[in-house]
């Protein structure tokens, strides 16, 4: 049984762990002792760890369990778009200290928010990892890393109708957490390394269409307006990946 390490056991990390726990042995981190105890009671191999933005006088100790891990999944924010350069650098350096010279398969969760906030279609070729500070730093240290640029995380309690939304005619770029887990599991099976993928549902209805579907209301008559469209074409073609949830209007079903 492969051993999976998950750094960052928040909303997404916990769902990835739940999806994989039946077929993999899960090691994970938490930022408080209470959460470590809770995760340990649920059968996970949990360790206390945090990756602050400020510089520490002492280097963070290496994760003792890293030597036992085959695949590493990192969900802490590293894209850097909303983070100043020094804070991002400190966080990444702390991460490097924690995982050391890990040479197994690595997945980093980035964001499609790295693309410009301008209308148009965006593929991975629209912006290289060299142009995204967090992605560049981790790829320079771990060339084997797989970088997954995730669109808006949805599913379970995350529904668009629960948020204050503007520009209702704009298209959505959403991804269901089950498809994120599906992508990672397929890449583990194929041994993928050094990949950069947009992970986003292939359908892009308007915000209004998604909200109305979640409220069980008729779809609005207006067509989808202009906006940013993230393309998962490379993911589909290279991995032959089939989305379990291709349409954000049905994420709540």
Domain residue ranges of the chain, discontinuous segments joined by +: 3-157+174-202+229-248
Please enumerate in sequence order all residues whose Cβ is within 8 A of that of 173, keeping only pairs 6 or more positions apart, or say none: 112, 151, 152, 200, 201, 204, 228, 229, 230
pLDDT tens by residue, 85-117: 778 888 888 899 999 999 999 999 999 999 999
pLDDT band at 82 (very low <50, low <70, confident <90, very high): low
Lowest-confidence pick of 59-63, 138-142, 147-151, 175-179: 59-63
Query: Would you say 88 and 71 are in contact if contact means Cβ atoms under 8 Å apart?
Result: no
Asked whether the predicted pLDDT for residue 56 surpasses 70, the reply is: no
Domain 3-157+174-202+229-248: top CATH class: alpha beta
pLDDT band at residue 134 under the 50/70/90 scheme: very high
Q: Identify which has the larger pLDDT, 148 or 81.
A: 148
- Please check whether residue 153 is in contact with residue 12, taking contact to mean a CB–CB distance below 8 angstroms: yes
Q: For residue range 10-30, what is the model confidence (pLDDT) as tens digits?
A: 999 999 999 998 889 999 998
Q: Higher confidence at residue 30 or residue 57?
A: 30
Q: Name which of 10-14, 193-197, 241-245 the model is least confident about.
A: 10-14
- DSSP-assigned letters across all residues of 217-246: -PPPSSPP-S-EEE--HHHHHHH----S--
């Amino acid at each position: 049984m492969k051993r999976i390490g998950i750094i960052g056991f928040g909303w997404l990390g916990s769902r990835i762990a739940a999806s994989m726990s039946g077929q993999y042995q899960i090691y994970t981190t938490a930022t408080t002792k209470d959460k470590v105890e809770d995760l340990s009671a649920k059968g996970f191999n949990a360790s206390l760890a945090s990756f602050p933005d400020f510089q520490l006088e002492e280097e963070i100790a290496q994760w003792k369990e890293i030597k036992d891990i085959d695949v590493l999944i990192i969900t802490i924010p590293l894209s850097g778009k909303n983070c100043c350069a020094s804070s991002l650098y400190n966080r990444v350096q702390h991460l490097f200290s924690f995982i050391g010279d890990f040479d197994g398969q690595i997945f980093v969760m980035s964001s499609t928010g790295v693309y410009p906030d301008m209308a148009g279609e965006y593929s991975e070729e629209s912006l290289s990892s060299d142009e995204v500070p967090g992605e560049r730093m981790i790829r320079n240290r771990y060339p084997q890393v797989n970088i997954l640029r995730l669109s808006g995380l949805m599913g379970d309690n995350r529904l668009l109708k629960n948020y204050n939304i503007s520009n209702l005619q704009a298209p959505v770029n959403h991804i269901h957490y089950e498809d994120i887990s599906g992508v990672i599991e397929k890449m583990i099976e194929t041994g993928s390394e050094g990949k950069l993928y947009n992970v986003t549902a292939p359908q892009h209805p308007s915000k209004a269409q998604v909200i109305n579907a979640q409220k069980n209301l008729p779809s609005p008559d207006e067509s989808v307006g202009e906006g940013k469209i993230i393309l998962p074409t490379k993911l589909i073609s290279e991995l032959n990946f089939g989305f379990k949830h291709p349409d954000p209007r049905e994420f709540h079903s």
